Chain A
Amino acid sequence: MAIYLYCLTEPGCEPLAELRGIAGERVRALGVTGRLGAWVSDLPEDPGPASTELVRVHDRVVRAALALETPLPARFGQSFESDAALERALQGRTDLLERSLDRVRGSVEMTVRILLAEAGDALPGRPFEGGVGMGASVESRAGSPAIEGAGRAYMARLRERQRVSAELQRQAEFLQARVARAVDGFARGEVCSPVMPGAQSIAISHLVAREAVREYRLAVASLSKGEAALRLMVSGPWAPYSFAQIAGE
């Protein structure tokens, strides 16, 4: 029987009997090693393509584990042929996973999302579509003024795109440093989302002691006091999704 994986836990962390997972199957704990367990449910049939409902079910099960102790949440969508297949997949990585569990013990993930300023809006919308300038056309001949003008326009767009990307990166790094200072003392770890071209926001996730969540929120809130331009949103507590990566992924 195939199984679906929700999270890795410390051994002895047992779900409530009524907890149901994907396809309404009962969630059960599987002992992997003396120091590592897993929450899984049987997967009697293909659950079909990903849907918001399936993602919600996955998160609900992980949250149930988080209510007991901090698990290592699994990324959505991982299934195995059997209990034994999961145990085989974990072989050779248990030390890393146990250390990861040690790291997140007693903590939760909090995420700050910050809206970036307007730099992204200045990005040329479709710089590589629809020709490269007003004068470009299929009838234009190489070396003609129209082609040269188009080349200059293309290079100008490229430079503007690079300038905007660099500006976004600088802005993100500046904000990340400000947030880091504000939560210094509360954050046991930090992960910042990469800044993609045209990004409108960045997400910074922190590993925070369970008992420090309120103070963390207050510290982040203090950042925007009197700063009209700084738009922040805090979410959490989450299971430590951003801190569950292991080497080699």
Chain B
Amino acid sequence: MAGDDLDLVSDDERLVLGEMLNHVLDKGVVISGDVTISVAGIDLVRAGLTLYLTSVETLERSSSPRGDIPVLPD
């Protein structure tokens, strides 16, 4: 199932992964009008969003001082 391997990554990686999922799965040009993304893919979007928010909450609890801006790697 989508997201099975997500426990293996660190918080920063999760942030990157969450943003990547949001971009790649939910945006971009649609040519066919018949996107061959499976139901599992939709689950993946949700998993990504949940993961992202969980990571943000983790970040909030961490020692990162307020006002810090984690800049995701290029």
**Residues of A at under 8 Å CB distance from B?**
5, 8, 49-53, 55-56, 58-59, 62, 72-80, 86, 89-90, 93, 97, 100, 109, 111, 113, 115, 200-201, 203, 217, 220-221, 224-238, 241-242, 244-246, 249
Question: What B residues does A51 contact at CB under 8 A?
Answer: 2, 40, 44
16 contacts between A and B (CB under 8 A): A8-B29, A50-B37, A50-B41, A51-B2, A52-B21, A55-B20, A59-B23, A73-B29, A76-B24, A76-B25, A79-B36, A97-B29, A201-B56, A233-B72, A235-B72, A242-B27
Chain A at the B interface: SS class: mixed
Known pairs A5-B31, A203-B22. 6 more at Cβ < 8 A?
A: A52-B21, A74-B28, A233-B69, A233-B72, A234-B72, A235-B72
Q: How many residues of B contact A (CB 8 A)?
A: 40
A-B interface, 9 closest residue pairs, ranked by CB to CB distance from nearest = A50-B41, A49-B40, A77-B37, A75-B28, A241-B27, A235-B72, A244-B29, A241-B23, A228-B66
In whole angstroms, how far apart are the Cα atoms of A220 and B32 in the complex? 36
In whole angstroms, how far apart are the Cα atoms of A200 and B18 in the complex? 14
Write the chain B residue with the least CB distance to A4.
Answer: B36
**Residues of B at under 8 Å CB distance from A?**
2-3, 5-6, 15-17, 19-32, 35-41, 44, 52-53, 56, 60, 66-67, 69-72, 74
Contact of A241 among B24, B52, B56, B71 (CB under 8 A): B24
Nearest-neighbour CB distance to chain A for B73, whole angstroms, equals: 9
Query: Is A78 in contact with B31, judged by CB distance below 8 angstroms?
Result: yes
In whole angstroms, how far apart are the Cα atoms of A220 and B72 in the complex? 14
In whole angstroms, how far apart are the Cα atoms of A55 and B29 in the complex? 15
Nearest-neighbour CB distance to chain B for A156, whole angstroms, equals: 28
In whole angstroms, how far apart are the Cα atoms of A236 and B23 in the complex? 11
Query: Is B69 in contact with A52, judged by CB distance below 8 angstroms?
Result: no
Known interface pairs A50-B2, A233-B70. Does A75 touch B21 (Cβ–Cβ under 8 Å)? no
Write the chain B residue with the least CB distance to A79.
Answer: B36
In whole angstroms, how far apart are the Cα atoms of A241 and B72 in the complex? 17
Query: Is A52 in contact with B66, judged by CB distance below 8 angstroms?
Result: no
Question: What A residues does B17 contact at CB under 8 A?
Answer: 52
Question: What B residues does A56 contact at CB under 8 A?
Answer: 20
Question: What B residues does A72 contact at CB under 8 A?
Answer: 28-29
Question: What B residues does A228 contact at CB under 8 A?
Answer: 66-67
Write the chain B residue with the least CB distance to A243.
Answer: B27
Contact of A242 among B20, B23, B44, B72 (CB under 8 A): B23
In whole angstroms, how far apart are the Cα atoms of A150 and B41 in the complex? 40
